[in-house]
Amino acid sequence: MELSPLQIARYEYQPKLPEILKNEIYAIKAVEGEVTASVSDQEQIKHLFPNTYGMREVTFERGENHAEDRRLVVGVILSGGQAPGGHNVITGLYDALKKTRKDNVLLGFKKGPSGLLDDDFIEFEDDYIDSFRNTGGFDIIGSGRTKLESEEQFAQAKKVAEKHDLDALVIIGGDDSNTNAAVLAEYFKAHGSKVQVIGCPKTIDGDLKNDVIEISFGFDTATKTYSELIGNIERDANSAKKYWHFVRVMGRSASHIALECALETQPNICFISEEVEEKKMSLSDIADQVVKSVVKRSERGDNFGVVIIPEGLIEFVPEVKKLIGELNDTMALKEKEFNAITDWQDKYSFMEKNLSKESFKVFSILPVDIEKQLLMDRDPHGNVQVSRIETEKLLISIVESKLDSLKKEGKYNGKFSALSHFFGYEGRCAFPSNFDADYCYSLGYNAFMLISYGYTGYLSTITNLSKPATEWKAGGMPITKMMNLEQRHGKQKPVIRKALVELYGKPFRYFAERRDLWAVETAFKYPGAIQYYGPESVCDITTRTLALEQE
């Protein structure tokens, strides 16, 4: 296969490590902190995880290493959607294993958790590992979304792990994948298995974070990629001066991506789902905000602009959120009955019978295309696949209708031509930024440290991330600390709580203080492409969100 010049150059990039991890393994000690508790539902979570609840946070410092010197066989799984940097987690883990003992082994289970259940794996060797260093994607072993939930699955995982004499399993994934990791760690410990389970925090959505996990890997690269594209669109809009661009970006449960892209590009409008829910804004209220900007800019002679919309916006609109909640519950209880219906009118009648009067009223006023999108196949958790709902087109339709009414009333005489975009897959497999290349390599290297000290049910954590990499700190956090109970498939289940945009946090406040100006004036910023070579002030910068949070 012919390689691009950038591929060749990136293979040779040596990721930076925190100073503590540059030491020889024998000179790194584990220091335990306070006992932890789950973010909520403490008694229920403790009951569900009796063997792995209440463990202490860990930091690594210089000192004598008391870990047992033993040959290790470690398995690794990529789980869930792709995120830039995943390959470097694996190369960091591999390098730490081989640096310690040449006879240590790393097995990669293919296509996600199903690879473990099916015993489908590859044993990593130098040449194969070297061909994936600092590259995007998850193609080194593939990924999957199989959930480990049943007793049969746990037993099969234990059987395969014992067949290979695994000492540990590293699961690289988001909130649901690391919930899998916590459940599997508990199962192994409860059944007398030596297999340790360590998680690594991955998701471009940015919603897997707390006071210890400052950012999930992939967020930096994905938002820089989207921001470049949005900046390009802004430049085009400012050149052509005749289009309003409505850009939907990934982020179903939280609006971190939308907010970061807004901080980077300064569009005319950016909606934050969490604020929409907090203010109980209706679809009409949301459209009115755009209309107000369109009218004011038109009065200045600017019949163009850019609107950023988070993927999950529609789910945060109170009346739509209630509708989606009822749809999720209805489908969980009557999925077979609904799936047996083929005629659209019959499906419509089914909804009228099974939804509340208020929710059906909302459903009935939506465009037919949106109604059908709401009734598409469920996601793996049994929920509406919000990513398939073209919210940007729905919003354009409502805005056009409102502007037509204003024209008839003589309150608006501008021109409104709208174009829609959805940026999702474009950012998931990009070449990782230097930040993500360094961060992910450190997460993998640090996962080895947790394994060597015998920890299980922990997330690998690297903190102090707004500083240069040499000042980063390494450690681990019990996964149960992040857990609570949530409704899934009609039942209460333990899951990692998603971190939403904090409306009192510095990043949102910075945005809120400036958006009224951006709504009227053309204040676009053009961040340009990710830079890999050059001054650190350009190549190694982190996100605006993280910089503001750690000011």
At residue 233, what are phi and psi to the nearest 5 degrees? -65, -40
The yes-or-no verdict on residue 246 having pLDDT over 80 is yes
For residue 56, give the amino acid letter: R
The pLDDT value given to residue 379: 65
The pLDDT value given to residue 361: 85
User: What is the rounded distance in angstroms from the CA atom of residue 542 to the CA atom of residue 263?
Assistant: 13
User: What is the rounded distance in angstroms from the CA atom of residue 38 to the CA atom of residue 548?
Assistant: 27
User: What is the rounded distance in angstroms from the CA atom of residue 303 to the CA atom of residue 296?
Assistant: 9
Q: What is the DSSP letter of 260?
A: H
Burial of 150 per CB tally in 10 Å (0-12, 13-18, 19+)? exposed
473-478 and 56-62 strand pairing: antiparallel
What residues form DSSP beta bridges with 404?
A: none
Residue pair 191/491 in contact (Cβ under 8 Å)? The answer is no
The pLDDT value given to residue 386: 66
Contacts within 8 Å (CB) and 24+ apart, 532-536? 532/6, 532/9, 532/10, 532/13, 532/431, 532/433, 532/434, 533/9, 536/468
- pLDDT more than 70, % of the chain: 97
What residues form DSSP beta bridges with 217?
A: 202
The pLDDT value given to residue 492: 86
**% helix, strand, coil for the chain, step of 5:** 45, 15, 35
The yes-or-no verdict on residue 179 having pLDDT over 70 is yes
pLDDT in tens, 99-120: 999 999 999 999 999 999 999 9
The pLDDT value given to residue 346: 87
Q: ∠ at Cα 102 (96, 103), nearest 5°?
A: 110
- Region 285-296 average pLDDT: 97
Mean pLDDT of the chain: 93
User: What is the rounded distance in angstroms from the CA atom of residue 412 to the CA atom of residue 406?
Assistant: 6
- Give, in order, the Cα–Cα distances in Å from 218 to each of 7, 129, 200, 309: 18, 20, 12, 20
At residue 89, what are phi and psi to the nearest 5 degrees? -60, -45
Give DSSP secondary structure letters for 45-89: HHHH-TTTSSPEEEEEEES---S-----EEEEEEBSS--TTHHHH
Q: Kindly list the structural domains of the chain, giving each domain's residue range(s) and its CATH number in brackets, ordered by start.
A: 17-216+432-488 (3.40.50.450), 219-428+504-549 (3.40.50.460)
Lookup: tokens for 244: 């309003």
What residues form DSSP beta bridges with 494?
A: 485
Q: What is the largest CA-CA distance in the chain?
A: 81
**Consecutive H or E run containing 306:** strand 305-310
The yes-or-no verdict on residue 231 having pLDDT over 80 is yes
pLDDT in tens, 140-159: 999 999 988 899 999 999 99
The pLDDT value given to residue 333: 82
pLDDT in tens, 356-377: 988 888 888 777 877 787 777 6
Give residue 182's pLDDT band: very low, low, confident or very high (50, 70, 90).
very high
Give DSSP secondary structure letters for 193-209: ---EEEEEEB-TT--S-
- pLDDT more than 90, % of the chain: 78
User: What is the rounded distance in angstroms from the CA atom of residue 147 to the CA atom of residue 151?
Assistant: 12
The yes-or-no verdict on residue 383 having pLDDT over 70 is no
User: What is the rounded distance in angstroms from the CA atom of residue 77 to the CA atom of residue 181?
Assistant: 10
What residues form DSSP beta bridges with 173?
A: 201
For residue 368, give the amino acid letter: V
Burial of 498 per CB tally in 10 Å (0-12, 13-18, 19+)? buried
Give residue 336's pLDDT band: very low, low, confident or very high (50, 70, 90).
confident
The yes-or-no verdict on residue 351 having pLDDT over 70 is yes
pLDDT in tens, 505-550: 999 999 999 999 999 999 999 999 999 999 999 999 999 999 999 9
Q: Can you give the pTM of this predicted structure?
A: 0.92
pLDDT in tens, 443-479: 999 999 999 999 999 999 999 999 999 999 999 999 9
User: What is the rounded distance in angstroms from the CA atom of residue 202 to the CA atom of residue 211?
Assistant: 16
Give residue 389's pLDDT band: very low, low, confident or very high (50, 70, 90).
confident
The pLDDT value given to residue 25: 82
Give DSSP secondary structure letters for 116-151: HHHT-EEE--HHHHHTTTT--SSTTT--B-----SH
pLDDT in tens, 312-323: 898 898 888 888
The pLDDT value given to residue 390: 87
The pLDDT value given to residue 370: 78
Helix, strand or coil, per DSSP, at residue 474: strand
The pLDDT value given to residue 329: 83
The pLDDT value given to residue 380: 61
User: What is the rounded distance in angstroms from the CA atom of residue 464 to the CA atom of residue 451?
Assistant: 22
Crossing angle of helices 434-452 and 86-100, rounded to 10°: 40
Residue positions annotated with a catalytic role: 205
